[in-house]
């Protein structure tokens, strides 16, 4: 270990640590802005571009950025001298001098790390004035808005996109006042390899990257007496929404959330978990079908099957692995299955035209906005899912209508599209989709009840995981990746001949799965928040009376009355899709 002294206190840190790590260990807060270290992922931003975290190191003339200065044995550091405080203030003023002052209307207001820093330092006036300021046009997509006038060149988004997601859509361009992070040739995001995963938004400290907010479109739909407006809520929302109201991460507020949605005025409050169970019926059947053909000796069976519920992942496969486009499951995502079923089966139950039914989703994800907008998910120009809002957007809506979430009683989701099982909810965590699929595939294949319902070997936070699952003698090799960079490593292995003989692989684009999605409350670099949400997801599953998708009575009724069998002609029409290269 390395010994250093910070503000007169002794601390020991492992080799490779920074001064900032040492200070954290001592509980000494050094303010940072560009720095971000999402433990257990590759997200470590050490660009040291903002210089807010400077400290004095004895024996050195210049101040040192603590986030990027290695801790050395015997170092004596001061974090709070007048020189440090003055420099920190000047640096912050310089950043603010080239930053728009529209905090009143900024999407990040209240969550902005630059605003917090200025407030903490007590900056009341910016004494640095000058004419030059960058001026960029806003770049709009259905999911993300880039407002590059607000970019502070922390480069967190670039690290996220290039080193964690390995998509490579963003890099630093231009110099001086015009320096920003942008796609090459300043193309709009929609014309690049961007997957819309939203992870750049999740780590942007300011309002340079934000979601395209659809809340007002939802309000307009709710105010229209001619429309029936229903809502579905994704698995991961219920374990994170509470954070926006000051609850501990991982607080489960499903019942209050349902009550809030009813009070907001949705005609029916349904659950994406229902559609997740439906996805398992289709995807599980597809998996067993492909395995059966493989075991019968058929050549060129598209294995391993890849899960296909994460739209950023689907985008990634389409753009980066077009040669493997036949292996993802053809099952639509739960969000899109829900929309398709709502606008056919459920519209029939209500005896209304699909055009008079508005389907709203609440999602932890920004790519879901993009997914809902894909042309193949609409009928005669009417989308299966009309509007998608994020967990953060729902929290703002709840605030706007003056609902005190803590005062609410619990309510149940409505029937029939709100009935779900524990298998549906674990979709929200990395490893959950494949676990849910195996619970059903096992019982269908082996024709005996599962000896143990929890596949603990599939759970965890490692970026790439592999496990063998025993189907009564048939050994299945399962792979799991979360984060697109990890997925890329696994898919490259498949492209090179699948040496580990994987039969099925689950991929989620975001660290932790949907619980770490780009539309969730900001984690500000604290990965323990994502882990607490994960624990909550498995807790909900554990507490559910029914935990296997094929035991979902409402899903069974949908097959009986409407779809026939999984993978039937009608199920194929409604619940499956194709991918483009």
Interface positions with ligand SF4 (CB under 6 A): 144, 160-161, 165, 167, 169-170, 194-200
Residue of 203, 236, 258, 314 interacting with ligand HC1 (CB under 6 A): 236
Q: How far is the CB of 280 from ligand HC1 (least distance, A)?
A: 10
Q: How far is the CB of 514 from ligand HC1 (least distance, A)?
A: 2
d(CA 314, CA 195): 8
Strands 36-37 and 54-57: unpaired
Nearer to ligand HC1, 234 or 467 (CB): 234
d(CA 492, CA 486): 10
From the candidates 141, 329, 330, 390, which is the catalytic residue?
329
Binding mask 480-519 for ligand HC1 (x = CB under 6 A): ---------------------------------xx--x--
Nearer to ligand HC1, 33 or 203 (CB): 203
Residue 108 touches which member of ligand SF4, ligand HC1, none, C-beta under 5-8 Å by kind: none
Residue 199 touches which member of ligand HC1, ligand SF4, none, C-beta under 5-8 Å by kind: ligand SF4
What are the residues facing 504 on neighbouring strands? 305, 478
d(CA 432, CA 500): 21
What are the residues facing 464 on neighbouring strands? 481
Binding mask 322-341 for ligand HC1 (x = CB under 6 A): -----------xxx------
25 counts as catalytic? no
The residue range among 15-23, 252-260, 363-371, 488-496 that interacts with ligand HC1, by the rule CB under 6 A, is 363-371
Q: How far is the CB of 419 from ligand HC1 (least distance, A)?
A: 14
Residue 95 touches which member of ligand SF4, ligand HC1, none, C-beta under 5-8 Å by kind: none
**520: number of CA atoms within 13 Å, CB side?**
32
Residue 169 touches which member of ligand HC1, ligand SF4, none, C-beta under 5-8 Å by kind: ligand SF4
Rounded to 5 degrees, φ, ψ at 39 are -50, 150
Nearer to ligand SF4, 158 or 244 (CB): 158
Residue of 258, 365, 434, 480 interacting with ligand HC1 (CB under 6 A): 365
283 counts as catalytic? yes
In angstroms, the Cα distances linking 395 to 186, 411, 468 are 33, 18, 40
Q: How far is the CB of 417 from ligand HC1 (least distance, A)?
A: 12
Look at the block and give the residue holding tokens 């759970």.
459
Q: Can you give the three-state secondary structure of 34-73, one letter per residue?
A: CCEECCCCCCEECCCCCCCCEEEECCCCCCEECCCCECCC
Contacts of 62 (CB under 8 A, 6+ apart): none
Residue 368 touches which member of ligand SF4, ligand HC1, none, C-beta under 5-8 Å by kind: ligand HC1
Sheet holding 144-146, edge to edge: 139-140, 144-146, 209-211
From the candidates 113, 158, 286, 393, which is the catalytic residue?
286
Cis peptide upstream of residue 91 (ω within 30 degrees of 0): no
From the candidates 86, 186, 191, 376, which is the catalytic residue?
376
Q: How far is the CB of 509 from ligand SF4 (least distance, A)?
A: 8
d(CA 385, CA 373): 8
What are the residues facing 32 on neighbouring strands? none
Nearest to 421 by CA among 287, 286, 298, 540: 540
In angstroms, the Cα distances linking 86 to 82, 154, 204, 250, 539 are 6, 21, 26, 39, 48
d(CA 486, CA 181): 23
Nearest to 208 by CA among 242, 170, 166: 170
**89: number of CA atoms within 13 Å, CB side?**
16
Q: How far is the CB of 275 from ligand HC1 (least distance, A)?
A: 6
Residue of 428, 479, 521, 566 interacting with ligand HC1 (CB under 6 A): 428
Nearer to ligand HC1, 32 or 254 (CB): 254
468 counts as catalytic? no
What are the residues facing 5 on neighbouring strands? 10, 76
Rounded to 5 degrees, φ, ψ at 210 are -145, 170
Residue of 377, 427, 502, 522 interacting with ligand HC1 (CB under 6 A): 427
Nearer to ligand HC1, 108 or 329 (CB): 329
Nearer to ligand SF4, 208 or 358 (CB): 208
Q: Which residue is nearest to ligand HC1 (CB)?
A: 514
* DSSP code per residue over 330-379: -BPPHHHHHHHHIIIIIHHHHT--GGGEEEEEEES-SHHHHHHT-GGGEE
Whats the size of the chain, residue-wise? 581
Asked if 368 is part of the footprint of ligand HC1 (rule: CB under 6 A), the reply reads: yes
Asked if 272 is part of the footprint of ligand HC1 (rule: CB under 6 A), the reply reads: yes
200 counts as catalytic? no
119 counts as catalytic? no
Strands 75-78 and 2-6: parallel
Nearer to ligand HC1, 52 or 275 (CB): 275
Residue 200 touches which member of ligand SF4, ligand HC1, none, C-beta under 5-8 Å by kind: ligand SF4
514 counts as catalytic? yes
Nearest to 364 by CA among 530, 228, 138: 530
d(CA 179, CA 567): 52
Nearer to ligand HC1, 31 or 566 (CB): 566
Residue 465 touches which member of ligand HC1, ligand SF4, none, C-beta under 5-8 Å by kind: none
Nearer to ligand SF4, 64 or 197 (CB): 197
From the candidates 34, 154, 309, 510, which is the catalytic residue?
309
Residue of 207, 235, 339, 525 interacting with ligand HC1 (CB under 6 A): 235
Look at the block and give the residue holding tokens 């903490």.
120
The residue range among 120-128, 192-200, 259-267, 362-370 that interacts with ligand HC1, by the rule CB under 6 A, is 362-370
Q: How far is the CB of 505 from ligand SF4 (least distance, A)?
A: 20
From the candidates 211, 256, 514, 527, which is the catalytic residue?
514
Residues annotated as part of the active site: 283, 286, 309, 329, 368, 371, 376, 514
Which residues contact ligand HC1 by CB under 6 A?
A: 234-236, 272, 276, 309-310, 333-335, 363-365, 368, 427-428, 513-514, 517
């Amino acid at each position: 270990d390395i010994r250093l002294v910070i503000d007169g206190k002794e601390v020991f840190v492992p080799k490779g640590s920074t001064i900032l790590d040492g200070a954290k260990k001592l509980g000494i807060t050094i303010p940072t802005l560009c720095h971000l270290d999402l433990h257990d992922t590759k997200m470590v931003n050490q660009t040291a571009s903002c210089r807010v975290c400077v400290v004095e190191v004895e024996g050195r003339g210049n101040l040192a950025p603590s986030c990027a200065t290695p801790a050395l044995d015997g170092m004596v550091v001061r974090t709070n001298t007048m020189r440090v405080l003055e420099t920190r203030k000047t640096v912050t003023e310089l950043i603010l001098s080239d930053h728009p002052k529209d905090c009143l209307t900024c999407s990040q207001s209240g969550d902005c790390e630059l605003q917090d820093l200025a407030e903490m330092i007590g900056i009341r006036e910016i004494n640095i004035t000058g004419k030059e300021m960058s001026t960029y046009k806003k770049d709009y997509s259905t999911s993300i808005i880039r407002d590059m006038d607000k970019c502070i060149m922390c480069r967190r988004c670039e690290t996220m996109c290039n080193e964690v997601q390995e998509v490579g859509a963003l890099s630093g361009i231009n110099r001086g006042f015009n320096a920003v992070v942008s796609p090459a040739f300043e193309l709009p995001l929609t014309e690049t390899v961007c997957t819309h995963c939203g992870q750049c938004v999740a780590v942007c400290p300011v309002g340079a990257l934000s979601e395209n907010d659809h809340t007002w479109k939802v309000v307009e739909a709710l105010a229209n007496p001619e429309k029936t407006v229903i809502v579905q809520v994704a698995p991961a929302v219920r374990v994170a929404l509470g954070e926006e109201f000051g609850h501990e991460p991982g607080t489960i507020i499903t019942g209050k959330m349902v009550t809030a949605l009813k009070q907001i005025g949705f005609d029916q409050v349904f659950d994406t978990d229902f559609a997740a169970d439906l996805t398992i019926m289709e995807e599980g059947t597809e998996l067993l079908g492909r395995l059966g053909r493989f075991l019968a000796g058929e050549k060129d069976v598209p294995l391993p099957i890849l899960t296909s519920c994460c739209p950023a992942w689907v985008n990634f496969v389409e753009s980066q692995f077009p040669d493997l486009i036949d292996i993802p499951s053809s099952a639509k995502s739960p969000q899109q299955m829900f929309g398709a079923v709502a606008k056919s089966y459920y519209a029939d139950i209500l005896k209304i035209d699909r055009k008079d039914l508005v389907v709203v989703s609440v999602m932890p994800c920004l790519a879901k906005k993009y997914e809902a907008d894909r042309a193949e998910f609409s009928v005669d120009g009417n989308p299966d899912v009309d509007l998608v809002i994020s967990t953060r957007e729902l929290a703002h809506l709840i605030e706007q209508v003056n609902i005190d979430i803590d005062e609410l009683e619990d309510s149940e989701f409505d029937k029939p599209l709100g009935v779900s099982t524990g298998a549906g909810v674990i979709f929200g965590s990395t490893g959950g989709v494949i676990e849910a699929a195996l619970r059903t595939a096992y019982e269908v294949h082996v024709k005996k009840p599962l000896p143990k319902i929890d596949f603990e070997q599939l759970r965890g936070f490692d970026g790439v995981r592999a496990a063998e699952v025993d189907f009564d003698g048939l050994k299945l090799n399962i792979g799991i990746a979360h984060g697109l960079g990890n997925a890329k490593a696994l898919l490259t292995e498949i492209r090179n001949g699948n040496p580990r003989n994987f039969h099925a692989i689950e991929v989620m684009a975001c660290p932790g799965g949907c619980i770490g999605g780009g539309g969730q409350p900001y984690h500000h670099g604290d990965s323990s928040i994502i882990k607490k949400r994960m624990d909550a997801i498995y807790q909900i599953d554990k507490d559910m009376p029914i935990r296997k998708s094929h035991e979902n009575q409402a899903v069974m009724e949908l097959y009986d009355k409407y779809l026939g069998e999984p993978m039937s002609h009608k199920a194929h029409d409604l619940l499956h899709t194709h991918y483009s290269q």
